[in-house]
Amino acid sequence: KFLPWQSLPESLLKNPKAHELDLEIAPRLVVYGHCTLDPKTPCPVNLYPKCYGCSSFRPSTGKLPLYERQYHGEQQRLTDAEKAGAELASEEAKATIEAMNKWLPELRRLADG
């Protein structure tokens, strides 16, 4: 299931696998979900791994456990980075958490509902 307020292209509904974003680039650049852009077209704004804040990103309830794990990992990363004074890591973790805060609560409700 996708969030109900999101407009979805027909190709995403017919073939979600083609729009899947599951990227894991070492050491921690991870993105799960789907992109509404044409899968044959490379990302025009090169947002990887900032997809979570992009208007073309669509999370799905099927990936909720991955989002939850990543969300908690980013919170831990933020705490560790702040303790160590690692400004860049702190900013990256903060940006990911803020982006996820915009859609994760509603996705949880949809999954529970």
What confidence tens digit (pLDDT) does each residue in 14-52 have? 888 888 988 887 667 788 999 998 888 888 777 777 889
Question: What letter represents residue 105's amino acid?
Answer: P
**What is the C-alpha to C-alpha distance for residues 9 and 35, in angstroms, rounded to an integer?**
10
Question: What letter represents residue 66's amino acid?
Answer: L
Percentage of the chain modeled with pLDDT above 90: 52
CB 104 within 8 A of CB 71: yes
pLDDT band at 6, cuts 50/70/90? low
3-state helix, strand, coil in the chain (%, to 5): 55, 10, 35
Query: pTM of the full predicted structure?
Result: 0.84
Q: Where are the domains of the chain?
A: 16-112
pLDDT at 107 over 90: yes
